[in-house]
Structure formats: structure tokens, C-alpha cells
Amino acid sequence: MCTCGSNENFDSCCGEIIKGKREASSPEQLMRSRYSAYVKGDGRYLVLSAIKENQYQDDASLIEEFSFSVKWLQLKIMAVKDTTVEFKAYYKDANGVQVLHEKSNFFLEDGVWKYVDGELYNSKIERNESCPCGSGKKFKKCCA
């Protein structure tokens, strides 16, 4: 199963996009591949999948450092509308389980979907939510 949460094999889902074998066909597919790149610690892809004016090669090592400092748990796509994707990415760090909640903006640049920027939301994991660790328990009875 792919790290993005689809039922496809990683290599035929996000792996092909990250390796440059094919382009993402939609903003959601690009969002999923970017999440998978965080899971895999592929800062190079994350830089290259941004619009040209936001591609800073020095960011790749910082992204990789962060990616490898946490354990990625789950991606939830909350909403997809035209060129935006709202998602929650759950990860575990030294302080416990965290959630990154963002509404990302995408742009079709030279026929290829690219990440523009995102609006971060101040979200927390609700006590009665299913725990993002995959245990099947409620958060309050598990990783909280």
C-alpha cells in the first residue's frame, strides 16, 4: 500500500511521480506524492515539485532533516476544490502525536502541477477521533 493512503502499490502510485517517471495528473495526486516524499525524506522532490520561484535547493536538506526526525502516521484529505487541497498530515515527534493541517494551493506550470503555498490551520487531534497511529482505538485511549 502506498504511503499516501491509497490502496495502490507505492511504486505505481506516488513512487513513479517522485522518481519522475510520470507527472501528477491533479492537485490531489501531487499533494499525495508530496506527503509520500516527506515520509521517504525526499527533499529534492519536494523542492522540484514547487513552482519555480519557490524552488530553493538549500531547503532540500532542511526538509530531509525534519522528515527523518518524525514518524509519519497518516494523511487525510479533507477537501479538494479546483486548485486547492485541504489535508491533515499526522506525525509523531518527541512531544507525541501532532497534526499538520493545511490548505495547499497548486498551479499548472508549463503543463505540470506544482505546489504554490499553503495556509496553515491551528488544529489539534480531537480526543474521540480514531488514533492516527492506526491502532483502531480512539485517540484518548491510545496515543493521547
pLDDT digits 0-9 by tens, 84-110: 999 999 999 999 999 999 999 999 999
> Where are the domains positioned within the chain?
11-141
Q: Encode burial over 40-51: b for 16+ CB neighbours within 10 A, e otherwise.
A: bbbbbbbbbbbe
- Would the pLDDT of 57 be above 90? no
Residue among 98, 47, 45 at smallest CA distance from 69: 98
Burial (Cβ within 10 Å: 0-12, 13-18, ≥19) of residue 69: exposed
- Collapsed DSSP state (helix, strand, coil) of residue 71: strand
Measure the CA–CA gap between 22 and 95, rounded to whole angstroms.
Answer: 37
- Would the pLDDT of 41 be above 90? yes
DSSP labels, 92-132:
EETTEEEEEEEEEEEEEETTEEEEEEEEEE-----TTSBPT
Q: Output the pLDDT for position 134.
A: 84
pTM: 0.93
The C-alpha cell at 92 is: 509523531
**Span 1-22, pLDDT tens digits:** 999 999 999 999 999 999 999 9
* Residue percentage of the chain with pLDDT more than 70: 100
Is the domain spanning 11-141 CATH 3.10.450.50? The answer is yes
- Would the pLDDT of 31 be above 90? yes
- Would the pLDDT of 112 be above 90? yes
Mean pLDDT of the chain: 94
Measure the CA–CA gap between 115 and 135, rounded to whole angstroms.
Answer: 32
**133 vs 107: which has the higher pLDDT:** 107
Q: Output the pLDDT for position 126.
A: 87
